[in-house]
Amino acid sequence: MKIVSSIKSGNYINGQVIDEDFETLDVISPLNGRTISSVYLSDASAVDRAVKTAQIAFGEWSSRTLKERVQIFFKFRALLEKHRDELIHLVHLENGKTMGESAAEVDKGIELCEFACSLPQIVNDEIQEVSKGVECRTSHVPLGVVASITPFNFPHMVPLWTIPNAIALGNCMVLKPSEMTPLSAILIAELLEKAGLPKGVLNVVNGGKEAVEAICDHPDIAAVSFVGSTKVAKIVYIRATSNLKRCAALGGAKNHLIVLDDAHVDMAASNIAASMAGCAGQRCMAASAMVAVGQVDHIVARLCEEAKKIVPGDNLGAVISKTAKERIERYITEAEAAGAKVLVDGRNTVVEGKEGGFYIAPTIIDYVSPDMNIAKEEVFGPVLAIIRTETVDEAIAIENSSNYGNAASVFTQSGGWARYIMDRVSAGMTGVNIGVPVPREPFSFGGWNESRFGSHDITGRSSIAFWTRLKKTTTKWNPEARTNWMS
């Protein structure tokens, strides 16, 4: 299949893919371990050029009305559909997820774009007569130049968590995609330009730590959104806010699924298997720890059958790198050595014809104790650790002890227990009989605890407050209106 923009990964500044002088890093496809492109490791000078360009574009772009600005996103949505196959192929190639998962990611991007198109219906400014003849009104005003720093696991969707809403609300943006999966971002930028987005409104600066630090330090960037690991989310949040920027930094996760003995066996098994193995477990919403309450052997047995139907290279993609594969396998081996029982073992997987790829088959480990690393840390692979408990309260205590708090689900047919557990788990996104409880638009996406720093979610309605500031204007036209200290 032809990829329209070849496999470009230059910086994209002022509407052009730019050749730079920086060092480069190979971009490797996890599917087969082959180098497919290279990416610049930009320094602060590239960030500064992108910011200056965005500042110039901001004047005209922010002067348009919201209704005018979203017209670009209606056209962009049509282009996402038109170029759907290329976009899917690019995600598959650079990230290693299956074509089906890549299609779901691109389709989610379309949904995110639709939300931005609906902003004129959602951003409600208020007006009220606050004293006789005196009105007060609010307006949502863009911040200026903002930045979005994104991870490897959703190279198309996560940039579209931020680009449409931030830009439709009048901001100009510097996007810094993951250096491991930088390719989809350039195609997004090119399609937005085709949709009519003026030059300089969206700029893409590639790189790693140095570029991120330059974003956090740049005096003319008003807000930073970050999605990635908790370790880096903390660094970015502290650095950006100490430079007095607004910051929403979404971090890693350790999602618990609490399974009761009355759960619907087929529904629980298929949902849990899909959650732990989907996108090779590299989702911040993936099931990572199953807390089994009481006698649930019948569900575990069914779950193992489901996991064995998920085949690497067929309906299971690759993990991002050789290092990631080794890290994930180390967690399994350590847990086994500490006494856990590996029921389904995905280590040492090689896919015929893709011997250079980074594959791990689904892995289920039973009798994990809560103090093992595999029970506490983010593994980010197709691995499920089963922790056995006697009571619901014990299960809740295990979930509550996690530093993270992205997602938590319960599997039961009892409404009473479901409510009891949902009321007590410490997670921002919760589900009942749902393996991946992602709140779709217009609801907003964001976890609690060390899964999110800052006070806003990143998508949906909550993002409106993040990407704008409120101006309150009080007006009096009637000379007869009373004058007092209140007006």
Rounded least distance, CB 250 to ligand NAD, Å: 4
Say whether residue 90 binds ligand NAD (CB under 6 A): no
172 has catalytic annotation? no
Q: What is the DSSP string of 247-300?
A: EEEE----EEEEE-TTS-HHHHHHHHHHHHHGGGG-STT-EEEEEEESS-HHHH
CA distance 366 to 359: 22
Q: Which of 20, 105, 179, 441 binds ligand NAD (CB under 6 A)?
A: 179
Q: How many residues does the chain have?
A: 487
CB 342 within 8 A of CB 365: yes
Q: How many chain residues bind ligand NAD (CB under 6 A)?
A: 27
Say whether residue 281 binds ligand NAD (CB under 6 A): no
Q: Where in 148-167 is the site for ligand NAD (CB under 6 A)?
A: 149-153, 158
Report the residue number, 206 or 363, with the smaller CB distance to ligand NAD: 206
CA distance 372 to 109: 37
Report the residue number, 229 or 433, with the smaller CB distance to ligand NAD: 229
Of 113, 216, 284, 304, which residue is the catalytic one? 284
Integer angstrom CA distances of residue 231 from 227, 235, 254, 456:
11, 7, 14, 19
CA distance 314 to 99: 10
CB 480 within 8 A of CB 134: no
Report the residue number, 148 or 363, with the smaller CB distance to ligand NAD: 148
Region of 172-180, 189-197, 341-349, 362-370 interacting with ligand NAD (CB under 6 A): 172-180
Report the residue number, 225 or 349, with the smaller CB distance to ligand NAD: 225
Report the residue number, 49 or 176, with the smaller CB distance to ligand NAD: 176
Neighbours of 301 (CB within 10 A): 12
Say whether residue 24 binds ligand NAD (CB under 6 A): no
Say whether residue 251 binds ligand NAD (CB under 6 A): yes
Region of 131-139, 162-170, 175-183, 298-306 interacting with ligand NAD (CB under 6 A): 175-183
Q: Which of 189, 193, 192, 247 is nearest to 218 (CA)?
A: 247
Integer angstrom CA distances of residue 153 from 69, 105, 119, 178, 368:
29, 10, 27, 9, 27
Region of 130-138, 245-253, 306-314, 390-398 interacting with ligand NAD (CB under 6 A): 245-253
Report the residue number, 304 or 465, with the smaller CB distance to ligand NAD: 465
Q: Which two tokens stand for residue 246?
A: 């607004």
Element (H, E) at 227: strand 223-227
Say whether residue 235 binds ligand NAD (CB under 6 A): yes
Rounded least distance, CB 286 to ligand NAD, Å: 8
Say whether residue 378 binds ligand NAD (CB under 6 A): yes
Report the residue number, 152 or 466, with the smaller CB distance to ligand NAD: 152
Say whether residue 108 binds ligand NAD (CB under 6 A): no
Q: Which residues contact 184 (CB under 8 A, 6 or more apart)?
A: 87, 90, 91, 94, 155, 156, 159, 177
CA distance 258 to 270: 15
Q: Taking CB positions, which residue lies at the least distance from ligand NAD?
A: 228
Q: Where in 423-462 is the site for ligand NAD (CB under 6 A)?
A: 447, 451
CA distance 128 to 136: 6
Q: Where in 400-419 is the site for ligand NAD (CB under 6 A)?
A: 406
Q: Give the angle 466-42-9 at the CA atoms, nearest 5°.
A: 85
CB 43 within 8 A of CB 214: yes
Rounded least distance, CB 360 to ligand NAD, Å: 16
Rounded least distance, CB 445 to ligand NAD, Å: 6
Q: Which of 50, 51, 90, 232 binds ligand NAD (CB under 6 A)?
A: 232
Q: Which chain residues interact with ligand NAD by CB under 6 A?
A: 149-153, 158, 176, 178-179, 208-209, 212, 227-229, 232, 235, 250-253, 284, 378, 380, 406, 447, 451
Q: Which residues are known catalytic residues?
A: 284
